Amino acid sequence: DIQMTQSPSSLSASVGDRVTITCRASQSVSDYISWYQQMPGKAPKLLIYGASTLHSGVPSRFSGSGSGTDFFLTISGLQPEDFATYYCQETYSSPFSFGPGTNLEIK
């Protein structure tokens, strides 16, 4: 199975900041990486798929990059509604593993 790691596990930032979350796969997954935002008790929301393609309706301040094993989610100009937990996921092969999550908190 492919193992996914994320860093940092938690992050404090202020409204207007630019932040980057890193996701690493234990083997190459090409561009089969998605990023999700999750609020407590709610279903995750798809932000990015194919490593860099913005899902419909997602604000352009979210962007994704990377290929192979190393991937990045960047949020430029944090808004109050962006403080949440973020997960990466590989859809290259089952069991479609998720990273452990990054909790983005208000500083």
Partner 1 sequence: QVQLQQWGAALLKPSETLSLTCAAYGGSLSGFSCNWLRQPPGKGLEWIGQVDHRGVSTYNSSLKSRVSISRHTSANQIFLNVRSVTAADTALYFCAGHWPRVTPSGGFHPWGQGTPVTVSS
Under the rule (CB under 8 A), what is the footprint of partner 1? Answer: 1, 30-36, 41-46, 48-51, 55, 87, 89, 91, 94-101
Query: Which of 44, 78 has the CB closer to partner 1?
Result: 44
Query: Which of 16, 95 has the CB closer to partner 1?
Result: 95
Handedness of CA 7, 86, 30, 94 (dihedral sign): positive
Residue 14: CB minimum distance to partner 1, A? 26
- Give the helix, strand, coil percentages of the chain, each rounded to 5: 5, 50, 45
Rg, C-alpha atoms of the chain: 13
Burial of 58 (0-12, 13-18, 19+ CB in 10 A): middle
Name the token pair of 99.
Answer: 């990273």
Query: Which of 74, 85 has the CB closer to partner 1?
Result: 85
Residue 62: CB minimum distance to partner 1, A? 13
Residue 31: CB minimum distance to partner 1, A? 5
Residue 53: CB minimum distance to partner 1, A? 8
